[in-house]
Each structure stands twice: as structure tokens, then as C-alpha cells.
Amino acid sequence: MHWWRHGHCHVRGTPLTKSVEGVSTRVIIVIAILAPPAAILLAVLLAFRADTFRLSLADLKGLYATDQSLFTEISGVYTHFQDEGEGFPIVLIHGSEGTLRTWDPVVSAMKDRYRMIRLELAGRGLSAAGAPGTVSDDVTLHGMVIDLLDGLGVEGPFHLVGQSSGGTIATRIAKYYPDRVAKLVVMNMPSSPVSVPRSARPGNVRRAMVLNDDYLKFRTRGFWHTYYSYLWGRQEMLGEELITLMYDQNRRVRAPMARQLIPANFSPEQADINLGGVVAPTLVIWAMSDPVLPPSQLEALTSRMTKAPLTVKELPGVGHFPALESPELIIPLIEDFLED
């Protein structure tokens, strides 16, 4: 396995003369200066739809790659990962809209005793998307994680931690590689396909979705502030740095991704098979103020994990992303469980 360490690089902005889908930014600016209000609104709409404000993967690397950033190809997918600390390995997997930065506080707190390995899933953070036709049909996300670990020389057991849809991947690893997973930790993960209709969300979130998803075809920084405020239980823990990170990471230039790289159980039957096959001792941490995965989903998850010895810890007042919102609460729970 070959990997490359990221060196120092300069942040590059998006040039003002960028042209996408035949619409140049300079033309849009001229329209905005000379035209009446209706035309100005049209120019703004065209600017967003023309991907004027999106970032390339190279742009994101310039902004967010660090001295700890490593890159490799796994099953043909250019993948960003980090490998810090020494000791028994812990593998950390982020959720579908996250990045490996999800685990910054956990890694900082535990790398003095453990080898902390985290990666960014295909299409997230600084990892390439893995377009349809470029990835073999038999490639799986859980298999890619194992391939990364094998390449790093981690051939024995390891602990595994996953949040949200990262928990979906973690449980698949635990099912298909039971001899490799010593202990498993999952947080607010869907047990089967979950869909929250727009009509069930608060009015400000619905309006943000209409404006950003239906009209602009682009999620602005304001959208992420509104959406993450909705997902957060403890509003005081939602910082501007995180909003900026989520905004930047989610305005990547759009690229198609192979279906087998989407981290989800696509049917209840598939969920029963994957979750019912987990045998590793498992800590389930559940944030109880999650509007996407409410407490009823905790019971749905644990009822499917019939073979795994379970420990359940509830976090009242915490929202969908406990690793981001309340690391000071989850780190002692993880440490106590792994060291028991």
C-alpha cells in the first residue's frame, strides 16, 4: 500500500472569471450592476446554479489538509485518512455529511494510549467520490476500511467507533469481520432506512430547504447554520468554525458516486441481516434530543442486535451529532467501555 503525506500548500480562491455551464461570473456581475431588481435576482440565481461558489477537491485540500493528512487509493478511490498515536488500534468512521474532523476531540483525548485511525468516506472531506463505472461492483465501504487497515499493517483486532451512518458501516465491518472487531461503539445510527419528510421539519428549516435545494440548487452558509441549529440539542455548543467547515465541505463541485459507496441499509431486511450478525460487545450511545433519529429509533436498533452484548448510554438534551456537540460526555463513556 502506498500513501502520500500532505505538505504545506497555499489556499486558492475561486477566480472571478470562472465559467461553468456557459455562465461566467464576470457576466453575472455586469448584469447585477446594470439591470433592474428582477434581473439582479435572476443573476444571483444563475450564479448559484452555475456552481460559481463551489470548491474543487484541490481547493478543499488547500483549506483543510493538515500535516497529519495522508492519502492513498483504495479500490481506485482517492482517500484521505489520518493515523496518530500508538497502542491498540481504534478506527473511527464519520457520518454521511461529516468528515474525519468529527473525531478531533476524541483523537486528542485518546491518542496518548491508542493508535487512532480515521478516514473520510468516498465523496466526503478530501476523498474523491468514486464515480459510477470507475468502481467495481463488488467494492463495499466496509471492505475499503479493511483494505486500508491491512495496508497499514493492522491485521489483528481493533476497536471500532461509528456515528450516524458511520455506525452503519461499523456494524457491517463487525458482522463480516467478527474476528477483527474487539469492541464496537455506535452513536445515533439508523437501524433501517429513515426518511424525515420536509413537512415534518420546523418552518425555518422547510423555508431554508425550499430556497437552497429547490431554487438555488446550492446550500449556503446560512442554510447550514439553520440546519445544524435544528439538529443540535445544546445550541451553545454550535460554533461558527463548525458551520464554516460544514459549508465548505458541502459545497464541493458536484460529482456522481457509485451506489455501493453510499453508507446505508437500503431495506429493513438488509438491516436485519447486517445488525443481527454483530457479535462484538457493543456500546450504544444515544443522544435523546435527535430530531432525525428520536429515542424510538434506539429501540429499533437494539431490537435488531440480538447477538451482541449491549451497553446502552443515553444523553438527555443532546442532538444528532454527539461526537461534535458533546465530546466531553462521550469520551469518558468510550474510555470506560474499552478499558473495562
27: DSSP letter: H
Q: Residue range 50-61: average pLDDT?
A: 86
Flag whether pLDDT at 25 surpasses 60: no
- Length of the chain, please? 340
| pLDDT value of residue 194 | 82
What is the enclosing helix (H) or strand (E) of 49? helix 37-49
| Residues 6 or more apart whose Cβ sits within 8 Å of residue 200 | none
Q: How confident is the model at residue 260 (pLDDT cuts 50, 70, 90)?
A: confident
Pairing of strands 114-119, 88-93: parallel
Q: Which three cell numbers stand for residue 17?
A: 472569471
- Mark whether 150 and 291 lie in a shared domain: yes
Q: How confident is the model at residue 22 (pLDDT cuts 50, 70, 90)?
A: very low
In the chain, % of residues over pLDDT 90: 69
- Mark whether 130 and 71 lie in a shared domain: yes
Flag whether pLDDT at 279 surpasses 60: yes
Q: How confident is the model at residue 8 (pLDDT cuts 50, 70, 90)?
A: very low
Please indicate, yes or no, if residue 296 is contained in any of the structural domains: yes
Q: What's at 287, amino acid-wise?
A: A
Is the distance from CB of 79 to CB of 145 less than 8 angstroms? no
Flag whether pLDDT at 222 surpasses 80: yes
Distance in angstroms (rounded) separating the CA atoms of residues 176 and 192: 18
Flag whether pLDDT at 33 surpasses 70: no
Distances (CA, A) of 119 to 39, 40, 88: 44, 42, 17
- Mark whether 277 and 179 lie in a shared domain: yes
- Mark whether 93 and 241 lie in a shared domain: no
- The residue from 211, 233, 249 where one domain ends is 249
SS3 content of the chain, % helix, strand, coil (to 5): 45, 15, 40
Q: Residue range 154-174: average pLDDT?
A: 96
Distance in angstroms (rounded) separating the CA atoms of residues 226 and 243: 10
- Mark whether 305 and 185 lie in a shared domain: yes
Domain housing 211: 198-249
Output the domain CATH number for residue 100: 3.40.50.1820
The more confidently predicted of residues 5 and 126 is 126
Q: Which three cell numbers stand for residue 284?
A: 450504544
Q: What's at 49, amino acid-wise?
A: R
Please indicate, yes or no, if residue 7 is contained in any of the structural domains: no
pLDDT digits 0-9 by tens, 69-122: 999 999 999 999 999 999 999 999 999 889 999 999 999 999 999 999 999 999
| pLDDT value of residue 19 | 39
- Mark whether 225 and 166 lie in a shared domain: no
What is the enclosing helix (H) or strand (E) of 172? helix 165-176
| pLDDT value of residue 11 | 33
| pLDDT value of residue 46 | 64
| pLDDT value of residue 4 | 65
Please indicate, yes or no, if residue 124 is contained in any of the structural domains: yes
Flag whether pLDDT at 12 surpasses 50: no
Average pLDDT, the chain: 88
Number of domains making up the chain: 2
The more confidently predicted of residues 60 and 2 is 60
Flag whether pLDDT at 244 surpasses 90: yes
- Mark whether 66 and 129 lie in a shared domain: yes
Flag whether pLDDT at 310 surpasses 80: yes
- Mark whether 145 and 266 lie in a shared domain: yes
| pLDDT value of residue 27 | 55
Distance in angstroms (rounded) separating the CA atoms of residues 261 and 120: 12
- The residue from 223, 249, 275 where one domain ends is 249
CA atoms within 13 A on the CB side of 303: 8
Flag whether pLDDT at 170 surpasses 50: yes
Flag whether pLDDT at 29 surpasses 90: no
| Residues 6 or more apart whose Cβ sits within 8 Å of residue 309 | 281, 282
| pLDDT value of residue 44 | 61
Please indicate, yes or no, if residue 5 is contained in any of the structural domains: no
- Mark whether 181 and 209 lie in a shared domain: no
Pairing of strands 181-187, 158-163: parallel
Question: How many beta carbons lie within 10 A of that of residue 259, not counting itself?
Answer: 11
